[in-house]
Each structure stands twice: as structure tokens, then as C-alpha cells.
């Protein structure tokens, strides 16, 4: 799943602290806009903190919905909370360590208080560690897996009345929370996540997700379209449809038609011509030409794909059980560039996977040079319990070699991003304004269609405006722009056709 970073943290101080300590390289986060924070009042106040991927951020909005409809309120101040919930990530060892440190801090707070506070662990770590979490992290009051959020009110009541920890880590083959309306408590009011499927059946050798999130299941089309329409009605301008592997979305509609991901994306794009549509994450093995054609045909489907390659060598890809070769991946990239001129690509890369030789590592670097990604999320391989790699392969690349290879990958990507961003100078883009820039209230920030963050002077533009911007300067992470005036997506699409 895309951006592994700590999002939806209610406490802004902590958000800043976390951005600084983030060890996985994600410069993308440097200029995120300040979030509008919405308090929700209730009889008992819940503090909710989210770690990990976009899917977790989206899940936290489901958790907020379940809690709100059961009379709970949400607070940004942990000291005011009756319940502190941590929605966790298990993808790499360091993600889990971060959560453990946070749980220690919360327990220390709990000890110092005069009033009681329950601490709960939600999400992937809850699923992976289950009872172990109760033994190791004594005095955790709740352990709730990603498919059990509807049960939260009952579990909270049980823990309250018995004084014992309450646990539900049951995974489901059907649960998609399709009927729930997410409470977008940490939203900028402009961009929203819409979950379209849950789980993953791919079993990549390194990945714990199939164990923590269970089998793949798709959400009914009508409920997805309804949620997108509601977002448009509320003034949202951008949706990112989410799933662990959106390309395998599959749903048989009420009239018996089979709806593929390409078809779903096409339908979502027709909800409103002024709604930008993005998605994450796409597995290269089933990224179809039909899907690429939707990008080309629909002006509001963004010209950007996150296409995790993981590695540049076919033998390593085989060991990773990715089911495509280097050549097949490069062929897909070529088709994407041909069908969607100017398309922007980003990726995920793992350094130091089991048995990786120096020559194989060089293949990753050469693939990066060939594709020229705009952005990459780069990780050191971290062995995860129960995965195929943990059971069958040797984690034999020494730590210092992993680190050096990761650094080479990061340095290369930085220079590719620098060149690609420098090439943007002088070009014009339509930017959707997300809010004030993190660094200065006198500047706004927003993204291009190609998902590049642009910062420019405020003038009289507002959050939610589409603004024509000429790029005047660039770093490897951000473009600096000069605003030329308001526009609409339709106007821009017509201009392109005429041009
Ligand atoms: N070690 C390192 N990186 C991993 N990822 C998933 N599992 C691991 C692991 N065990 C990375 C992959 C995936 C992204 C979400 O996290 O690159 O695409
Ligand atoms: Fe993990 Fe592979 Fe599924 Fe992505 S596609 S969640 S990397 S198993």
C-alpha cells in the first residue's frame, strides 16, 4: 500500500515530531497542508491516533463513524480522553517499534492521571500479535482487528464492566463497511479516501498484509458511487479510491454485469466532471490497457499511477513472488507512457531482500534510471513473521549492506526527482488548492494532476479552487509556482482538446 507515513494523527505537535523522525524516506509529506480539525462531541471522549498507510487512515474514519453513532465523541487532546485508541501498522519491524514506544507513552500518561483512561490497539498489529499483545503490552484494555470495528462499542462496554481486556481479531470474508459513512474528522474538506476493497490474496513473499487484513473482498459499486456523490455534495474536489490491490477489484452488479476496476474508475469519474479521481495501490501484474485507456479518456482521472515495482531483477521478483518479470514491468511502463502522454509514475522499492546480490541491486538502480519515477517510497527489507520469506528464505544480506544499498537507491531517486522537477520549470499546471502551505500562511499548496506538490503565493485563492499555475522553481520534493488565475477541470480539458 502507498505512503507509509504517519497520518491522521490528531495531535499536531506529535504529527510534527513524527514527520521528523520518519525513517522511511517520504519527502512527499514535507509540504502537506495544515488539516482542519473537527472535534466531535459525545458522552465519552475518544482520542484516536493512526499509523501506517492510507488504508489505515480510511479505517480510522470508519472507527470514528462507529463510535460517533454510539454516542462517543472525538478529541484531539489525549489528556481529555476517556479512551485512547492507536490504529497500528505491522508492515515493517520499525513501524511496530514506533507503536510500542507510543503505547509506553500513553501508559505513562495513564498512570499519572486521576481519572481512568482505556488504551486500545486497533488494526494490523492487533491482528498479528493478538493475545501476545496483552501479555507483552500489559494493561492494554482493547485489541481489535481490522474487520471487527463494528464490535468496538460492545468491546468498550465489556472492558469497562469487567475490568478485563476485551479482544476481537476475527477476520471476515465479507466485511467492507460498505454501509457506513466515514467521519472525516481530520480532513482538509477537499480530498477524501474512499475504500473500495479490503484484504489481499497476493501473498508476496515479504508481506504481512494478507495475514493481518485477510482475504480480498470488493465493496458493492452502488455504495462506492453513493459515497463519492455525497463527497461532491459536501464540496470535496478529489477522491482517492483505496484498496491493497485495486486492480483486482471485481463486483457483480445488481443487473448481472461484472464490474472491473477500470469500469469502476470510469463510473467514479462520471460522478462529477470537477472531481479529481486518484487510486492506490495498483499491482503491476493486472494493470490493464483498459485501465490505461480510462486515464486517457477521462480528463478528471489523474495522469498519475503508483506502480510498486519492489525490485529491478527478475530472479529477485520471482523470489518475492511478484508474478511479473523486469521486462514485463518495463513493457507496462512503456504502454502507460504511450497511452497516457506525460503520465507521472511513482513506486515502492525494497533494498536487501533475501539473497540479493550486488549485480541484482544494480538492476534496481538501472530500472529506476529507465523508468524515471517522479517519486519513490524506499525501504530496507524487514523480515516479517509467518510470511513466505520468513519461512522459506534466508534474510542473508547484512544490515550494513542493506543500508548502503538503500542509500544508493535514495540518492539516485533524489537526483531523478530533481531533474524531473527542474524540467517542470516554465510549464503550466492545474493545481487543486489543499490549504495553506506548512511553512508559511502567506502561501498555498496543492497538487498537480500528476501528483506533484506546488507552493505558490495566496493572492485571493481558496482551498478547493482549481488554479492555473506556472512553475518558476523546483526542488526534488516541491515545485514553486506563480498563480495565473482560477480555472475548472472542464475548461482545462476543452483547452487541451482545442490545443
Ligand atoms: N520489508 C520492507 N518493506 C516492505 N514492504 C512491505 N513489506 C515489507 C517488508 N517486509 C513495502 C513494499 C510495499 C510497501 C507498502 O511496503 O514496498 O509495497
Ligand atoms: Fe502485500 Fe503484495 Fe498484497 Fe501489496 S500486493 S499488500 S505487497 S501481499
pLDDT of residue 459: 87
Which residue's alpha carbon is at the smallest distance from atom 5 of ligand 2?
202
Buried/exposed code over 58-71 (b: 16+ C-beta within 10 A; e: otherwise): bbbbbbbbbbbeee
CA distance 328 to 334: 10
Q: Name the H helices within 298-398.
A: 314-319, 326-339, 358-371, 388-392
pLDDT of residue 33: 30
Instruction: For residue range 167-190, list pLDDT tens digits in order.
Output: 999 999 999 999 999 999 888 999
pLDDT of residue 438: 85
CA distance 369 to 412: 8
CB 283 within 8 A of CB 244: no
CB 147 within 8 A of CB 168: no
Q: Tell which one of 52, 379, 410 to mutate to probe ligand 1, the residue whose CB is within 8 A of the most ligand atoms.
A: 379
CB 221 within 8 A of CB 271: no
Q: Tell which one of 55, 90, 92 to mutate to probe ligand 1, the residue whose CB is within 8 A of the most ligand atoms.
A: 92
Taking the CA of residue 200 as reference, the ligand 2 atom at the shortest distance is 3
Ligand 2 centroid–CA 202 distance in Å is: 6
Which residue's alpha carbon is at the smallest distance from atom 14 of ligand 1?
1
Ligand 1 centroid–CA 136 distance in Å is: 25
Q: Tell which one of 4, 5, 90, 91 to mutate to probe ligand 1, the residue whose CB is within 8 A of the most ligand atoms.
A: 91
Beta strand pairing call for 197-198 and 217-218: antiparallel
* Side-chain-facing half-sphere of 403: CA atoms under 13 Å: 4
CB 228 within 8 A of CB 182: no
Q: φ, ψ for residue 8 (rounded to 5)?
A: 55, 35
CB 1 within 8 A of CB 90: no
Ligand 2 centroid–CA 389 distance in Å is: 13
CB 185 within 8 A of CB 64: yes
Q: Which residues line ligand 2 (CB under 6 A)?
A: 1, 200, 202-204, 207, 209-210, 244-245, 283
Ligand nearest to the CA of 389: 1
Instruction: For residue range 351-404, list pLDDT tens digits in order.
Output: 999 999 999 999 999 999 999 999 999 999 999 999 999 999 999 999 999 999
327 grid coordinates: 521486462
CA distance 71 to 41: 8
CB 103 within 8 A of CB 141: no
Q: CA angle 91-29-244, nearest 5°?
A: 35
pLDDT of residue 17: 37
* Ranges of the chain with pLDDT below 70: 1-41, 137-139, 497-499
Q: Tell which one of 89, 210, 323 to mutate to probe ligand 2, the residue whose CB is within 8 A of the most ligand atoms.
A: 210
CA distance 344 to 373: 7
C-alpha distances out from residue 124 to 158, 178, 490, Å: 22, 20, 41
pLDDT of residue 338: 97
pLDDT of residue 29: 34
Which residue's alpha carbon is at the smallest distance from atom 2 of ligand 2?
204
Ligand 1 centroid–CA 384 distance in Å is: 10
Ligand 2 centroid–CA 380 distance in Å is: 16
* Side-chain-facing half-sphere of 43: CA atoms under 13 Å: 5
**In sequence order, which residues have a C-beta less than 8 Å from that of residue 206 and are 6 or more positions away?**
320, 350, 353, 381, 383, 384, 387, 389
Instruction: Compute how many other C-beta atoms are within 10 angstroms of the C-beta atom of residue 114.
Output: 4
Q: Cell 469487567 sits at which residue?
A: 162
Ligand 1 centroid–CA 403 distance in Å is: 15
CA distance 126 to 20: 26
Dihedral angle sign, alpha carbons of residues 488, 494, 496, 499 = negative
Q: Cell 471487527 sits at which residue?
A: 148
CB 82 within 8 A of CB 118: yes
Ligand nearest to the CA of 285: 2
Partnered with residue 430 across adjacent β-strands are: 468
C-alpha distances out from residue 33 to 48, 141, 455, 469, Å: 20, 34, 10, 17
Ligand 2 centroid–CA 209 distance in Å is: 6
Ligand 1 centroid–CA 253 distance in Å is: 33
Amino acid at each position: 500500500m502507498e505512503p507509509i507515513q504517519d497520518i491522521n494523527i490528531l495531535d499536531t505537535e506529535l504529527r510534527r515530531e513524527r514527520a521528523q523522525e520518519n525513517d522511511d524516506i517520504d519527502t512527499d509529506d514535507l509540504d502537506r497542508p495544515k488539516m482542519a480539525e473537527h472535534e466531535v462531541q459525545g458522552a465519552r471522549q475518544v482520542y484516536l491516533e493512526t499509523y501506517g498507510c492510507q488504508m489505515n487512515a480510511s479505517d480510522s474514519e470508519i472507527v470514528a463513524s462507529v463510535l460517533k453513532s454510539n454516542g462517543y465523541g472525538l478529541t484531539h487532546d489525549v489528556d481529555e480522553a476517556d479512551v485512547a485508541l492507536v490504529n497500528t501498522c505491522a508492515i515493517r519491524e520499525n513501524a511496530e517499534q514506533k507503536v510500542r514506544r507510543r503505547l509506553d507513552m500513553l501508559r505513562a500518561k495513564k498512570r499519572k492521571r486521576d481519572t481512568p483512561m482505556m488504551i486500545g490497539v486497533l488494526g494490523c498489529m492487533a491482528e498479528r500479535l493478538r493475545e501476545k499483545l496483552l501479555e507483552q503490552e500489559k494493561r492494554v484494555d482493547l485489541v481489535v482487528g481490522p474487520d471487527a470495528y463494528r464490535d468496538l462499542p460492545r468491546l468498550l462496554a465489556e472492558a469497562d464492566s469487567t475490568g478485563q481486556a476485551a479482544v476481537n481479531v476475527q477476520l471476515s470474508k465479507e466485511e467492507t463497511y460498505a454501509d457506513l459513512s466515514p467521519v472525516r474528522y481530520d480532513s482538509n474538506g477537499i480530498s477524501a479516501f474512499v475504500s473500495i476493497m479490503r484484504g489481499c490474496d497476493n501473498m508476496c513473499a515479504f508481506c504481512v498484509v494478507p495475514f493481518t487484513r485477510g482475504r480480498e473482498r470488493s465493496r458493492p459499486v452502488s455504495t462506492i458511487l453513493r459515497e463519492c456523490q455525497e463527497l461532491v455534495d459536501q464540496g470535496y474536489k478529489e477522491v482517492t479510491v483505496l484498496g491493497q490491490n485495486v486492480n483486482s477489484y471485481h463486483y457483480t452488479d445488481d443487473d448481472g454485469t461484472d464490474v472491473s476496476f477500470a469500469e469502476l474508475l470510469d463510473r467514479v469519474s462520471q460522478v462529477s466532471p470537477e472531481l479529481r479521481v486518484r487510486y492506490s495501490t495498483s499491482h503491476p501484474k493486472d494493470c490493464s490497457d483498459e485501465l490505461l485507456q480510462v486515464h486517457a479518456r477521462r480528463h478528471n482521472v489523474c495522469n498519475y499511477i503508483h506502480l510498486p515495482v519492489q525490485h529491478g531483477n527478475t530472479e529477485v521478483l520471482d523470489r518475492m513472488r511478484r508474478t511479473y518479470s523486469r521486462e514485463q514491468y518495463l513493457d507496462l511502463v512503456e504502454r502507460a507512457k504511450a497511452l497516457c502522454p506525460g503520465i507521472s509514475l511513482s513506486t515502492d522499492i525494497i533494498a536487501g531482500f533475501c539473497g540479493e546480490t550486488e549485480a541484482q541491486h544494480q538492476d534496481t538502480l538501472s530500472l529506476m534510471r529507465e523508468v524515471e519515477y517522479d517519486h519513490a517510497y524506499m525501504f530496507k527489507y524487514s523480515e516479517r513473521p509467518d510470511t513466505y520469506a520468513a519461512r522459506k528464505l534466508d534474510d542473508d544480506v547484512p544490515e550494513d549492506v542493506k543500508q548502503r544499498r538503500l542509500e544508493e537507491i535514495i540518492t539516485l531517486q533524489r537526483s531523478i526527482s530533481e531533474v524531473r522537477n527542474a524540467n517542470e520549470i516554465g510549464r503550466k499546471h492545474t493545481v487543486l488548492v489543499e490549504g495553506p502551505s506548512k511553512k508559511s500562511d502567506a502561501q498555498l499548496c496543492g497538487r498537480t494532476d500528476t501528483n506533484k506538490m506546488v507552493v505558490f503565493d495566496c493572492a485571493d485563492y481558496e482551498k478547493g479552487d482549481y488554479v492555473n499555475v506556472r512553475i518558476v522553481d523546483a526542488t526534488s520534493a516541491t515545485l514553486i509556482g506563480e498563480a495565473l488565475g482560477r480555472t475548472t477541470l472542464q475548461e482545462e480539458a476543452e483547452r487541451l482538446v482545442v490545443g
